[in-house]
Structure 1
Amino acid sequence: MRWLILLVVFVLAGCGQPQTYSQESYVFGTRVEVTIYGAPQALAERVTAQVLRDFDVMHHSLHAWEPGTLSRMNGIFALAPAQAAIAPGMIPIIQDATRYSIQSGGLFNPAIGNLIKLWGFQSDHFEAKLPDPALIKQLVAENPKMQDIVVDGIMFHSTNPAVRVDLGGYAKGYALDMAAAYLRSQGIKNALINIGGNIIAIGQHGDRPWRVGIQHPRKPAPIALLDLRDGEAVGTSGDYQRYFELNGQRYCHIIDPRTGWPAQGVQAVTVLISPGPHAGTLSDVASKPIFIAGVAGWQAAAQKMGVDKAMLIDANGKVHMTAAMQQRLNFKVN
């Protein structure tokens, strides 16, 4: 499973400063980096190793199509109204993703896994090929939604056999929140966690904030810099990592549940989320409905998601942003 790598992180260690410990891995189908500042080496090594182990467990558990907890659930959904026992850890995830889906007015809809598969994006390698429009129309008409999933005690089932959950727009953010909570519980005061461009900050890097660069959607360089405050999270959705082109048209992995087709008219959306226990999750989720809503509806979508700091780059490269986001971005990138 490949995930979007959408932000460039700048971690600059100066001479004579307390130690910066950083370790990279490849989890969730993307590059993952944990950077800890000012902690004893042994502690930094121990907690980072645990975070990466936790990420690996989450990756296998939440994978939509490889064998794991979620893929087994999807198999039960297909047999609706058959039911089975649910893994306890999945209950809050399903409930949380359902709440966000309702909040977004259905633009964030993890239940459309069949559509994502039809477009070929449930794969590490996909080809430039359009699905049969009749099949797209059929899957849209089946109207799978998170509200179709019923959890009753330790049992779960779906009232709609078309439901197939794909948490590709949720899992990275959820993992950020879990990792940040764990690091804080272990006494880590300053850290930066980056999962393929979804990033959360703990404390700061010495006497300055953690600084990240927001990737330009059409150039191999950041379009702006952003200083993250303690507990803030940032996430970007774009059309430039998981996509294919056919007859001059770009088709990205962000599917509009209303039409069954990849969203058009937007190159990238970045959101900055205020500190809170679910900041990481919201940074992953909120960018999707804003992207799908497009130039005409992005502000309303951001408001629905409770996001006041958002930036959208349209198909022509024009930058749109909220006033609160404009105050935080530095476009003077050398």
Structure 2
Amino acid sequence: MKTELPGPELEENPGVLEVALNFRAMNTHVEVLVYTGEVEKAASVCDQIQDLFEYNEAVLSRFKPDSELSELNRTGYAENASELLFRNVAAACDMHEFTGGVFDATLLEALEAAGYNRSFELISSPGPHLLTVQPPVVAGQWQPRNLERITLDYARKSIRLAPGVRVDLGGIAKGTTVDQAAGLLRQAGFKSFMVGAGGDMFLEGCPPQDRRGWKIVVDNPLDKENAPVASLVVTNRAIATSSQMGRSWYLGRERQHHLIDPRTNRPASSPYASVTVEAPSVQVADVMAKVALILGPDRFKEAGFFQKAGLGRVVFVTLECEVIQL
């Protein structure tokens, strides 16, 4: 059994136990909590969730040379692609169009140029150092890449990349996997659970301790030892946080991070340390958090994403630790 033994029976709800699963996948910590009286059933689904994460990583990771994504990037073509790869590439294309090109899965060359050319734990000198903010790009200087860089044939499940194009699904695969995991628990009939992976989480129902919903704290991205800067109560919704402070490293004397601004092909030079987004799905929350950090609150609101994506609350934390809640 991969799943931890259930905790003690909860006083608030006799007969309800907490079933917990913790493991690492996709280079992050994954946690599953299920509140139920059906312990063996919950443990079985939790084991399926770990298998799901491991399988999705094996197919979608750009760091695994034998993954289906790596093969696509080498050859530029996938005939009869797996449903998993095709669905994630199609979702990345949809999000590219939905965000006006701000979300772009074809920025792998820029990521590698910034030093993110191997799995993060292998990159030397990661650290939470501040990035000097550069002037924003003047409106009208940037045009989003053409969607024809990726051609999808839905009937044949084939994917064709334009010459020189390679795909990184790191900005979307984790969110879609959390959504899949939540779907497994939901299909099994569970009403109170949480699935989280490195700041991306789906929260179903309410925990027995709080019938309002799940209380989620927004950490201080500049100093996680200090008190959280905000909190949200969430039920049947997704939360995702994007931060330029977490996955960062040095290339020479310059700090880099993993959030590439497609307008500059460089790590986003943003005055915001982190953005937390509430949305209907983790895939949407994850993408919207990245887009919000790149655009900032004013342009993000002007783009109409709240209405178009069904967003709830959005929390920006600046590099001076000022909190802006939309």
Q: TM-score range by the shorter chain?
A: 0.7 to 0.9
Quote the offset at 1:127 in angstroms.
4.4
In structure 2, the partner of 1:210 is 214
In structure 1, the partner of 2:268 is 263
Which of 91, 95, 114 pairs up with 2:90? 95
Classify the secondary structure of the residue corresponding to 1:200: strand
Which of 312, 317, 322 pairs up with 1:318? 322
Which of 234, 241, 253 pairs up with 2:258? 253
Structure 1, 29-38 or 213-222: larger mean CA deviation: 213-222
Quote the offset at 1:12 in angstroms.
11
In structure 1, the partner of 2:249 is 244
The code of the aligned residue for 1:238 comes to: S
Query: Residue deviations 1:138-157, cap 9 Å, x none?
Result: xxx9x866542112232534
Query: Residue deviations 1:276-332, cap 9 Å, x none?
Result: xxx11101111111111135523234446553521212233222221xxxxxxxxxx
Quote the offset at 1:226 in angstroms.
1.7
Determine the C-alpha separation between the residues in 1 that align with 2:70 and 2:161.
17
Quote the offset at 1:88 in angstroms.
2.9
Q: Please give the residue correspondences for 1:125-140 in structure 2 after superposition, counting only pairs within 5 Å.
A: 125-127=122-124
Classify the secondary structure of the residue corresponding to 1:162: coil
Q: What count of residue pairs does the alignment treat as equivalent?
A: 292
Determine the C-alpha separation between the residues in 2 that align with 1:313 and 1:16.
35
> Identity of counterpart residues, as a percentage?
25
Kept after mapping to 2: 8 A contact 1:148/1:163: yes
Mark the CA change 1:260 to 1:12 in structure 2 (over 3 Å): closer, same or farther.
Answer: farther
Kept after mapping to 1: 8 A contact 2:149/2:161: yes
Determine the C-alpha separation between the residues in 2 that align with 1:284 and 1:214.
15
In structure 1, the partner of 2:202 is 200
Q: Which has the higher contact order (CA 8 A, sep 6+)?
A: 1
Classify the secondary structure of the residue corresponding to 1:286: helix
Kept after mapping to 2: 8 A contact 1:115/1:260: yes
Determine the C-alpha separation between the residues in 1 that align with 2:289 and 2:183.
22
In structure 2, stretches of 5+ residues that fail to align are 1-6, 127-141
Kept after mapping to 2: 8 A contact 1:211/1:227: yes
Q: What TM-score, normalized by structure 1, do the two folds share?
A: 0.79
Q: Please give the residue correspondences for 1:83-232 in structure 2 after superposition, counting only pairs within 5 Å.
A: 84-123=79-118, 124=120, 125-127=122-124, 146-152=147-153, 153-154=155-156, 156-158=158-160, 160-206=162-208, 207-208=210-211, 209-220=213-224, 221=226, 222-229=228-235, 231-232=236-237
Quote the offset at 1:87 in angstroms.
1.9
In structure 1, stretches of 5+ residues that fail to align are 1-10, 130-140, 323-334
Quote the offset at 1:14 in angstroms.
4.8
Structure 1, 30-39 or 210-219: larger mean CA deviation: 210-219
Classify the secondary structure of the residue corresponding to 1:106: coil
Quote the offset at 1:98 in angstroms.
0.7
Over the residues paired in the alignment, what is the CA RMSD in angstroms?
A: 2.7
Query: Residue deviations 1:154-205, cap 9 Å, x none?
Result: 2534352222111111111101111111111111111100111111011111
In structure 2, the partner of 1:35 is 33
Structure 1, 232-241 or 161-170: larger mean CA deviation: 161-170
Kept after mapping to 1: 8 A contact 2:229/2:323: no
1:68 aligns with 2:67: yes
Query: Residue deviations 1:96-144, cap 9 Å, x none?
Result: 2111111111110011111112212242232479xxxxxxxxxxx9x86
In structure 2, the partner of 1:134 is none
Quote the offset at 1:20 in angstroms.
0.7
Q: What TM-score, normalized by structure 2, do the two folds share?
A: 0.81
Determine the C-alpha separation between the residues in 1 that align with 2:27 and 2:231.
25
